[in-house]
A and B are shown apart, each in its own frame.
Chain A
Amino acid sequence: MSLSFERLEATVRAAHGRPGRGYFLLLFLAAALAAFGGWAYSLVVREGLYLTGLQRPGGWGNLITDFVFWVGIAHSGTLISAILFLFRAKFRTAVYRVAEMMTVFAVMTAGLYPIFHLGRPWFAYWLFPIPNDRGLWVNFRSPLIWDVFAISTYFTVSTVFLLVGVAPDAAALRDKATGWRKKLYTLLAFGWRGTDEQWRHYTRAYLFFAAFATPLVVSVHSVVSWDFAVSILPGWHSTLFPPYFVAGAILSGVAMVIVILVPLRKWLHLEEIITPTHLDMLSRLVVLTSLIVTYSYVTEIATALGEPANDPERSTFIYRMTGDYAPLFWLMVACNCVGPALLLAGRVRRSIAAIFTISLFVNVGMWLERFNIVVTSLAHDRLPFNWRTYTPSWVEWAMTFGAFGWFFFWFLIGIKLLPPVSIAEMKEELAHEAHSSGEVAHAG
């Protein structure tokens, strides 16, 4: 056996060692980017939404694109930790903790956007059904309210799932930690001692968390897709949207996990735990979801082109492929369909640089996909006199890039506080491997 329990824990503890200058530089850059985005948003609060490029008919632009993008990124964590847990996919063990952390921080990012988009964000609490003097309640028939419930439930369940998974690992780290880390791990361990009674309840409850989280993964992006699909706008009003959005979300989420894992495993010296085989398996998920997304693109385009010549749906899709935003459409196709197809070749999947590059472009492509859906449909609605091209303002770009700063700021802090791999599940797997090969589990 290549890895012992002791070495596994030592590797995780080493990952939590004193960070170097590079870490603080990255943290500063992320914080500065987030602060710049925050300042840009403060201008919108003070001056109004006119500072954005939003004009009739384009009432949604970069900010809603960002919202859908970050909800999509949030999907991989629960997919990898919950769905693959139910399917007993062993490769998830080494990678799911990073994906879960990513999920929580991505939902924290996504949740900001509907508030950004409110004309009067200080009334955001009106979105929650809070009893009030006038007896008014929220409109449960509104997709905006579905989002509020879907996102807040997803955030709560994902955070609970992450912290429950951390508890046994925190107990393992607690016993050898000192100072403030000991206090932190004592808190996160929730009194964990590893007795059979505790494991008995833990394993059962973990199964239920996975069972709850699995339909939640499917529901959240389906709900987001209904923000569009329940309208009558050509390019949005489609029954294909929920599965198409869910597959796209998993594609972008898994691609983001790869983009984060590749540098992370080198920086934290996790190469022995997160191996090329794990990256290979993740890239297979990228291929699978890319094929579903490609099928969805072909289906919606073929369906629209099959309509009569004067049909608005047909007109919108022709505009999407040949109009003002055509370069972005074809770049999206290249990033989301052509690039991942290269991963069908085993030789490409064995190259970490290739996997990383393709995944990076998938993330660009998935942002563009949401931009194409949001913007081109609004820019080319049913009324030709209404058509107008939307161009994001610098304020919107600042908020878009600021969100990346916000996400990576929390992620960089999280990765230094929480164990980047599940120590307990890795130990279970190592013991199983050792038993199969006739070794002793803890041998160093």
Chain B
Amino acid sequence: MPAETGVLGSFGEPGAAARAVRALKAGGFADVRAAMPAPFPEVVAALGKPRSAVDFVTFPGALLGLLCGIGLTVGTSLAWPLVTGGKPIVSIPPFAIVIFEVTVLIGSLANLGALALGTWHGGRARFFPAQAQFNADRIGVFATGPDPLLAERILRESGAEEVSRVG
């Protein structure tokens, strides 16, 4: 992950961080990033990032689970067609229980995989100046762009407690 140059502001209050994000965007800074100890709704809304694409892994994962469940129950029963309790070889009601469980299991594991991939990408592939305080009690707002002086001014005017140049 290559380090990028930009301006970092540290905020103690989510409302101020959200104001800074909006002001930076209005000031022409297209790439504004943030790091925070919790997903504060006002900051998330100000950043205006698109919805995560984990859906595109989770739903197919659940569908794969459904197919695996059907394959496991129906396929193995047909492979050794032994009648028990006078019930049909392919008994839909009892099989539905197992199919449901396998759907949830594989869907959840796919969701976990998508989350791991997404957070790895979000944490590693996109640069953000690492500071422990952004996991603790401060919100970091990082802006890259051609005019660092303007970014500094916007961050200070929005209520940043600390502003520093990065890179």
A268 located at the interface, meaning its Cβ lies under 8 Å from any Cβ of chain B in the complex: no
Whether the Cβ atoms of B105 and A195 lie closer than 8 Å is no
Q: Which stretch (B22-30, B44-52, B148-156) binds chain A?
A: B44-52
**Tally of A-B Cβ pairs under 8 angstroms:** 212
Q: Which residues of B contact A136 (CB under 8 A)?
A: 80
Q: Which residues of B contact A216 (CB under 8 A)?
A: 104
B14 located at the interface, meaning its Cβ lies under 8 Å from any Cβ of chain A in the complex: yes
Q: How many chain A residues touch the partner (CB < 8 A)?
A: 65
Whether the Cβ atoms of A194 and B119 lie closer than 8 Å is no
Q: Which stretch (A148-156, A254-262, A281-289, A339-347) binds chain B?
A: A148-156
Q: Report whether over half of chain A's contact residues are helix, strand or loop; otherwise say mixed.
A: helix
Q: Which residues of B contact A228 (CB under 8 A)?
A: none
Q: Which residues of B contact A441 (CB under 8 A)?
A: 12-14, 137
**A146, chain B: closest CB distance, angstroms:** 5
Q: Which residues of B contact A223 (CB under 8 A)?
A: 97
Separation of A223 and B43 alpha carbons in the complex (Å): 43
A183 located at the interface, meaning its Cβ lies under 8 Å from any Cβ of chain B in the complex: no
Whether the Cβ atoms of A4 and B58 lie closer than 8 Å is no
Whether the Cβ atoms of A129 and B76 lie closer than 8 Å is yes
Separation of A145 and B84 alpha carbons in the complex (Å): 14
Q: How many chain B residues touch the partner (CB < 8 A)?
A: 68
Q: Which residues of A contact B137 (CB under 8 A)?
A: 4-6, 9, 427, 441-442
Q: Which residues of A contact B37 (CB under 8 A)?
A: 5, 168, 172, 194, 423-424, 427
A193 located at the interface, meaning its Cβ lies under 8 Å from any Cβ of chain B in the complex: yes
A160 located at the interface, meaning its Cβ lies under 8 Å from any Cβ of chain B in the complex: yes
Separation of A197 and B35 alpha carbons in the complex (Å): 9
B165 located at the interface, meaning its Cβ lies under 8 Å from any Cβ of chain A in the complex: no
Interface residues of B (CB under 8 A from A): 12-15, 33-44, 47, 49, 51-52, 54-55, 58, 62, 72-73, 76-77, 79-80, 82, 84-85, 87, 91, 94-95, 97-98, 100-102, 104-105, 107-109, 111-112, 114-116, 118-124, 126, 128, 130, 132, 134-138
Listed by A's residue number, 21 A-B pairs whose Cβ atoms lie within 8 Å are A6-B137, A137-B77, A141-B87, A141-B95, A142-B84, A157-B104, A160-B109, A172-B136, A195-B34, A195-B123, A196-B49, A197-B33, A197-B126, A200-B44, A202-B119, A205-B118, A209-B108, A215-B104, A424-B39, A431-B40, A442-B138
